[in-house]
Amino acid sequence: MSPLQEQTEQRGLEIFDLVDQNPESIFSKAGFYQRMMAFSMRDEHFKVQMFRFVDVLASLRHSSDIVQHLGEYFADMRNGSVPFLQTGIKAARIFPWLTAPILRWNVSGMARQFIAGRDPEDVMKMLRKRRQEKIGFTVDLLGEAVVSEQEANEYAERCFNLLDGLAERTRGWTDPLGKNTDLFPVVNVSVKISALYSQMNPADPEDAIAHLAPKLRPILRRAREVGAFINFDMESYAHKNTTLELFRTLFTEPEFRDWPHAGIVIQAYLRDAERDLTDLIEWGKQRGTRFTVRLVKGAYWDYEKIKAAQNGWRVPVWLQKPESDANFEACTRILLENESIVTAAFGSHNVRSIAHAQAYAQQLGIDKSRFEFQLLYGMAGPIKRALVEMGYRVREYCPVGELLPGMSYLVRRLLENTSNEGFLKAKFSDKAGPEQLLRDPRSLIGGKRSHSSPKAPSHSRNGQSLDTPPGDTYENSPLVNFVHRQSQEQMRTALREMKAKLGQKYPIVINGQKIWTDHLIDSINPSSPTQVVGAVAEAHVEHAEQAVTAAKKAFEHWCRVSVEHRAGLLERVATIMDRRRFELSALEVFEVGKPWAEADGDIREAIDFLLFYAQQMRLRGLPRLTQHVPGEESYQHYWPRGVALVIAPWNFPMAILTGMVSAAIVTGNTVIMKPAEQSAVCGAMLMEMFEEAGVPPGVLNFLPGKGRVIGQHLVDHKDVHMIAFTGSREVGLRIWKSAGETREGQLELKRVVCEMGGKNAVIIDSDADLDEAIVDSIYSAFGYQGQKCSALSRLIVLEGNYDRVVKRLVEAAASLRVGNPETPGILVGPVIDETAYRRQLEIIETGKKEATLAFQGTVPPEGFFVPPTIFTGVKPDMRVAREEIFGPVLSVMKARDLDEAIRIANDTDYALTAGFFSRSPANIERVKAELVAGNVYINRSCTGAVVGRHPFGGFKMSGGGTKAGGGDYLLQFLVPRVVTENIMRHGFAPDTTPEFRAPFGHSLDS
C-alpha cells in the first residue's frame, strides 16, 4: 500500500470515529423528511413522483390545488410501499383545509433543511450559530431562472444588498483558526453567472463577457471595499468555458489584478477538469496574485448525460462514479502542488475525497490553515464537526432565498441524497463499512477508462426489424456543439469564406446537363438586401418539358435499381453534406437569415433525412409475407410511382428539400426539384452534392424558376405522377385541386403529399413551471423570427398565471438579441424578403387596432427586420389570432380554465403543432388526448422536431400527407402490390414460407 493510501485511510478512519461519536442521522430533521427519503430510496417510482410533487408544491396557491395534485401524483401508488400515503390522500379529500397547510409546512421544513434563510437578515441567526461552531460561510442567492435583463439586474441588486448586509452584520468577526486569515475573508459570497445575463449563448462567449463584465465589476468593487470574497459558481457545461474566460478576463484587469479574494469552481466530473485546472494555474502564475479554486465533483451529472444523449454529443462527464472520484483526487494533487499560487477549497461530503486531500497536504507539508473544506448547508453535519475537531478550516455553503425559487435547488439536493452512487447514502443509509468507503477509487474503475469522451448512446435499443420503433432503429446525426471553441472557429471561417464567394451563378440541371438561360434569378441576403448571395438560371416551360422527358426516361432504369444501391446513394450524399456542414450552414445564414444553431439544425435534419430514409427503405424494400396459410403464398411489396415533382419552401432550405427529394429517390422515383426562389442557392448545393455522390442523369433534375410559371405547368403535367409540396396554404390548396383533375393522356391518379402551415397554440396551466414556460415560449415564438411552420403563434394562459406570465414574457422578449445572424448568439434575424416584411408590418398594424400592443422590439435599420411583437388581450376572432403570420408576432390570450383554453387552442383551421406547460398529471393526460394537432409537445418548446424521434406533420389545413421523418413517410412515394401464388401441386405444399423474400425480378446495381 502506498504511503498516501495508508495516510488517507488513517485520516478517513479518524473522521469516521469522530462522526460516530456524534451519531446524528444524516437526515437530521426527523419526521416527514426522514420518511420521504427512506421511501424514496426504496421505491424509484415513489421517488420520481415525490420529487415532482415537491417541485410543483410551492407554486400551488389553494388548498384544493394541493390536494388535487397530491391525488394525481400518488393515487396509483401501490399500497404496500407507502401505506400512510393512501390514508393521507383519503383524509386530504375530506379535510383539504387541514391537509394542505400541513403538507406545505412539511415540505417547507424540508426546504428549510437545505435553504439557510429567506434573506440576509434571516440567515444571520444561522451564521451566528455556525460561528460558535467554528464554521465559516459562503452565501449563495437562490433565484428563479433569469429570463430577462430586468431579472438579471434584480439579481445584481440583490448581490449588492447581500454584500452590504453581511459585511455590516459580521463586523468584528474573526477567523476561526486565527492563522493565514488574509487568505480567507469572513464574508464570502457565491455568485451564479447565468443569473446576471439572460442571453448567455454558448456560441458567443465574447457577447456574454461583454455583458457580464460591466455587471460584475461594481459587485467586485463593492466586495473589495467591504473586504469580502467572491466565488464564481460553476453551472452546466454549456456555460463552463464562458465562466472560466470571464474569470480570467476580469481578474487580469489592472483594477482586480492584485486582488486575491476571488475564486472559481472546477468540476471534477468533467473530462476537461484537469486541463482547465492546469490552464487556470498557468494563468494565475502569469497574473502573479493568488486566487482560489473550489474543487467539486459537480451538481449536474444526470442533466449533462441526458443533454448529450438528446443532441448526439460527446458526454462531457465521466460515466463511472469512481472516475469522478479519481479525477477529484488528481485535481486535488494538482491544487496542493500549486499551493503557492492557488488556495484550495475542497467541496465534498465524501470522507475518502476529504481524507485524501488531508493526507496529500500533509505529505507536502502544507499547514491545515492554508486550505479549506466546504460542505453544503443541511448536509453531513457530523462530518463538518469532525473536520473542525481535527483542526481544519470548514466553510458552509448557505443558499438564501424564497421557497419557490429554491425548489430546483431542493430537488437537486434530494436527488443527491438518494443517489445510489452517492457517498452519503452509502455511509449513512446503506451503512457501508469504512474499508469499502475508503478504497482508492482508481482500483474501482471498471473496464477500460476511456480517454476520449464516448458519444452518448441515444437509444437504449438499436434493433433492426420492423417490430422495433422506427426511431429506435436509427441513431441521429449529432448537432454541432457550439460550446467548443473549435466549432465556433469553424463557423466563423465558413462565414468568412462564404462571404468571399457570394454572387456565384448556378445552372439548371436536366438529365445531367448544365443549362444556362437568358435570365437569372438573384437570391439576396435578407439581412442586407443589396448583397446577392447567388444567382440561378431561371427555367422556363420548355425546360420543364425537357425535365419531365428526362425524368420519365430515367425512371425506366431507376425503378429497377436495387434498394441497396439507391440507399447507398443517399448515404454518400449524407457523407458529403457532413463534410460541407459548416459551409452549408454559413450559406443559410446569408441566404435565409438563419441564426447559427438554427442553420446547423437544418443541415443536421437534412443529413438525418438521408440516412433515415435510406435505412427505412432497406427495411421495407423486401417483399413481405402477408399471412401464413398452407398452400399459398402472398407477398406484399412496393413499386415506385414514377416522376415526382418536389416543390420546397425556403424556411428549412436544406432539410425539407432534402427530405422530399431523398424520399422520392430512395423509393425508386425520379425527381424534378424546384427549390424556393429565395433559397435557390441551397437547392443548387443539394444538386451538386447528389451529382458528386453519383446520381445518374435524369434521376434528379434541378429546375429553379417561378412557381407561377414552371410550378403550375408541372403540377398540371400528365406525366408527373406525384407532387411533394411543402409551403403556404394558398399554393398547397391550389396544387391539391389542380392535381385532382385528370388530363388528356394521363394514366395515373396523381398523388399529392402536401404540407402547409399552422396557427400553433401553447397553453400555460396555472401550476406550470414558469421558468421553463417563458424560455420555451419565447424560443418557440421568436426563434428564427417565427418563420417555422411549427412556431408558436397563440399563447393561451390560464387566468391565475396571466399577469405574471405576461410580465415575464414581455421582459424576456425585450431582452432578446435581434440582429444580423452572422453574429453568433442572435436569436431573431430578418424575415425572408420584402413581401413578407411588408405583410407582417401590415398585420402588426391591424393587431394594434384590434388588441393591446404589449411589446414591440427595436430592429436594425437595414434589412428585412420585423420587430418582435407581443399582443395581449387577443380574442379568438381577431385577425392576429386566426391568420398565419409566419413572423415574430405572438398573440397572448387569457382563458378562464383548461376547458376554455383547449377550446381556443383547437378553434383554428390548422392542426400542426401545439403545446402545454403543466405539472398536473391529470391535465397533461387530458391535453394529450384532446389537443387537435399533428405534433403535441408537453413541457417543452413546440418547434425543433427531430427525424425519427418526432415524425412531423399536421392535418386539417396544415397538411394532407403523413409524417415526415416517420416510419410510414416513404409509403406515400410507393404503390403497394401483392403477388399471390398457389404453391400447392397435387395436394403437396412446402411446410414453411419465409417471411421475407428477394425482390421480384432482377434488380440492377447501377
Ligand X SMILES: Cc1cc2nc3c(=O)[nH]c(=O)nc-3n(C[C@H](O)[C@H](O)[C@H](O)COP(=O)(O)OP(=O)(O)OC[C@H]3O[C@@H](n4cnc5c(N)ncnc54)[C@H](O)[C@@H]3O)c2cc1C
Instruction: Count the Cβ atoms, other than its own, within 10 Å of residue 560.
Output: 14
Decide: helix, strand or coil at residue 921.
helix
Nearer Cβ to ligand X, position 422 or 471? 422
Q: How far, rounded to the nearest angstrom, does the alpha carbon of residue 459 sit from its chain's CA centroid? A: 17
Retrieve residue 670's grid coordinates.
425520379
Q: 872: part of which helix (H) or strand (E)?
A: strand 869-872
- Pairing of the two strands 528-537 and 520-525: antiparallel
Nearer Cβ to ligand X, position 347 or 863? 347
Nearer Cβ to ligand X, position 416 or 765? 416
Decide: helix, strand or coil at residue 486.
helix
- What are the beta bridge partners of residue 535? 505, 522
Please identify, among the stretches 24-32, 90-98, 318-326, 816-824, the one whose residues bind ligand X according to the rule CB under 6 A: 318-326
Instruction: State which of positions 869-898 bind ligand X (CB under 6 A).
Output: none
Please identify, among the stretches 243-251, 374-382, 513-521, 735-743, the one whose residues bind ligand X according to the rule CB under 6 A: 374-382
Residue 837's nearest CA partner among 817, 816, 861 is 861
Q: What strand order describes the sheet that includes 528-537? A: 504-506, 528-537, 520-525
| 187, 167 Cβ separation under 8 angstroms | yes
Least Å distance, CB 264 to ligand X, is 9
Which of 301, 409, 558, 638 binds ligand X (CB under 6 A)? It is 301
According to the binding rule CB under 6 A, does residue 596 interact with ligand X?
A: no
Contact flags string 798-837 toward ligand X, x per CB under 6 A: ----------------------------------------
According to the binding rule CB under 6 A, does residue 271 interact with ligand X?
A: no
- Among residues 72, 598, 755, 884, the one annotated as catalytic is 755
Which of 5, 320, 575, 939 binds ligand X (CB under 6 A)? It is 320
Number of chain residues interacting with ligand X (CB under 6 A): 33
Least Å distance, CB 423 to ligand X, is 3
Nearer Cβ to ligand X, position 361 or 854? 361
Please identify, among the stretches 342-350, 482-490, 531-539, 674-682, the one whose residues bind ligand X according to the rule CB under 6 A: 342-350
| 254, 221 Cβ separation under 8 angstroms | no
Please identify, among the stretches 296-304, 592-600, 722-730, 790-798, the one whose residues bind ligand X according to the rule CB under 6 A: 296-304
- The C-alpha R_g of the chain, in whole angstroms, comes to 32
Nearer Cβ to ligand X, position 265 or 386? 265
Contact flags string 410-429 toward ligand X, x per CB under 6 A: ------x----xxx------
Which of 247, 318, 702, 837 binds ligand X (CB under 6 A)? It is 318
Nearer Cβ to ligand X, position 155 or 558? 155
Which of 18, 126, 145, 319 binds ligand X (CB under 6 A)? It is 319
Contact flags string 204-223 toward ligand X, x per CB under 6 A: --------------------
Retrieve residue 847's grid coordinates.
393587431
Burial of residue 481 (CB within 10 Å: 0-12, 13-18, 19+) is buried
Least Å distance, CB 111 to ligand X, is 16
Least Å distance, CB 513 to ligand X, is 58
- For residues 642 and 645, what is the distance between their CA atoms, to the nearest angstrom? 10
Integer angstrom CA distances of residue 796 from 586, 773, 791, 931? 36, 12, 14, 13
Which of 137, 184, 197, 269 binds ligand X (CB under 6 A)? It is 269
User: DSSP label at 270?
Assistant: B
Please identify, among the stretches 316-324, 617-625, 745-753, 893-901, the one whose residues bind ligand X according to the rule CB under 6 A: 316-324
Decide: helix, strand or coil at residue 821.
coil
Phi/psi of residue 281, nearest 5 degrees: -65, -40
Nearer Cβ to ligand X, position 69 or 240? 240
Least Å distance, CB 425 to ligand X, is 8
Residue type, 922: A
Least Å distance, CB 71 to ligand X, is 33
According to the binding rule CB under 6 A, does residue 324 interact with ligand X?
A: yes
Least Å distance, CB 300 to ligand X, is 6
- For residues 763 and 904, what is the distance between their CA atoms, to the nearest angstrom? 10
According to the binding rule CB under 6 A, does residue 296 interact with ligand X?
A: yes
* HEC sequence for 965-989: CCCCHHHHHEEEEEEEEECCECCEC
Retrieve residue 682's grid coordinates.
441551397
Nearer Cβ to ligand X, position 168 or 421? 421
Q: How far apart are the first and last CA of the chain?
A: 67
According to the binding rule CB under 6 A, does residue 397 interact with ligand X?
A: yes
Site of grid cell 415560449: 777
- For residues 606 and 601, what is the distance between their CA atoms, to the nearest angstrom? 9
Instruction: State which of positions 234-263 bind ligand X (CB under 6 A).
Output: 234
Which of 143, 185, 263, 298 binds ligand X (CB under 6 A)? It is 298
Instruction: Count the Cβ atoms, other than its own, within 10 Å of residue 962.
Output: 18
Least Å distance, CB 120 to ligand X, is 19
Least Å distance, CB 374 to ligand X, is 3
- Among residues 559, 754, 789, 942, the one annotated as catalytic is 789
Please identify, among the stretches 162-170, 370-378, 511-519, 732-740, the one whose residues bind ligand X according to the rule CB under 6 A: 370-378
Least Å distance, CB 178 to ligand X, is 23
Phi/psi of residue 963, nearest 5 degrees: -55, 120
> Got the DSSP string for 36-70?
HHHHHHH-HHHHHHHHHHHHHHTT--SHHHHHHHH
Site of grid cell 415526415: 964
Q: How far, rounded to the nearest angstrom, does the alpha carbon of residue 331 sit from its chain's CA centroid? A: 30
Instruction: Count the Cβ atoms, other than its own, within 10 Å of residue 992.
Output: 7
755 labelled catalytic: yes
Q: Catalytic site residues? A: 755, 789
By CB under 6 A, name the binding residues for ligand X. Answer: 233-234, 265, 267, 269, 294, 296-301, 317-321, 323-325, 347-350, 353, 374-376, 397, 416, 421-423
